[in-house]
Structure 1
Amino acid sequence: METQIKADEHTRRRYLEQFLAQVERRALIMAEIATSSREEALDLVQDSMLAFATKYARKPQSDWTPLFYRILQNRIRDWYRRNAVRNRWKGWLGFPDDSGDPIQSAPDPHSVLPEDEIHRDESGDAIAKAVGKLPLRQQQAFLLRIWEGLDVAATAKAMGCSQGSVKTHLSRAMASLRRQLQEYR
């Protein structure tokens, strides 16, 4: 009996690792689009994965995808709130904008070389920029429904809103993206 429990636990752990490996790359891209920062995105995804593994690993596997993305979207919303408060305090206290910090504006040694960037697909970059310009809720609806392929119910669960809100946000996102990307049609 005890060996069966250990075997079940090992199998569940293996499934959890496979699930997290499967969503990691897409979650990172979602967070990076939302934050415009690779480092912030990495932190958000890592926090989301840890929270998911500690709190929800025992839930049915069919619930894992919307639960994970709900955690990630909550982390992104929290990041936006923290930045808004931080920026407000900086403004009130008269601190300069971070964009003038020479350390922050130094080139990243791990960044893509300009020669490699030239060969990138322009339309892919334009889509990523256009999605990054969308309001957060529209961004979430687009990425979860279109890019991640979740159905309306799972997207609503992940976003913490009604199915009607998901449809509205997605419709607005699609209309905005069509306008922004008209030249690539």
Structure 2
Amino acid sequence: MTTTGPVSRLFFILLISFCAVYLLISTLPFSGNTQKGGIACVSYTRALEGTSILEQENRRHEKIVALAREALEKKQQKYYAMPEPLRRELREIDNITNNNLLRAEQSHERRISLQVISDAVEKYRVENHYSVVFNKDIAEHVPAGRDISEEIINHLQRVKVEYGELPTFDERALPHSH
């Protein structure tokens, strides 16, 4: 009785199956593979602070604050003939509105800055064939992967961020414009 034929075929099939499973698992993006084609992570905070993006954002915001302050002063000069309680109330409302507009602008600027970083990360991810790039600043658990923060920072050193036109803080933007 010879059993070498069916046993050797079964062994050969199991060996081929094992090799196929091994190859499949070793090429999955979440397999812990830290070489290109796997997982990477980046610190958006480091990218923001390690480049000129934050400086560009701050310079723009300073201009916006100056514009808002100038518009507010012009508006409040028109209150001189009003009784003091009404003048005080209108100034307070104008200050609150102005601060809200400034916060909205600052949020808008930050969104644009982060979008520039995200675009650079996505371009790097595609060019270097990474499956996933995590923002390690907000990820609770980042799987083992290569930190590409320095590469992103180097890429962003020469980037000029376009935030769009400066907002206007004219009479229509502030309340009580009549």
Which TM-score band applies after superposition, normalised by the shorter structure?
0.3 to 0.5
Higher relative contact order, structure no. (Cα contacts within 8 Å, ≥ 6 residues apart): 2
Q: TM-score scaled to structure 1, two decimals? A: 0.33
Q: TM-score scaled to structure 2, two decimals? A: 0.34
Higher helix residue share: 1
The higher radius of gyration belongs to 2
Higher strand residue share: 2
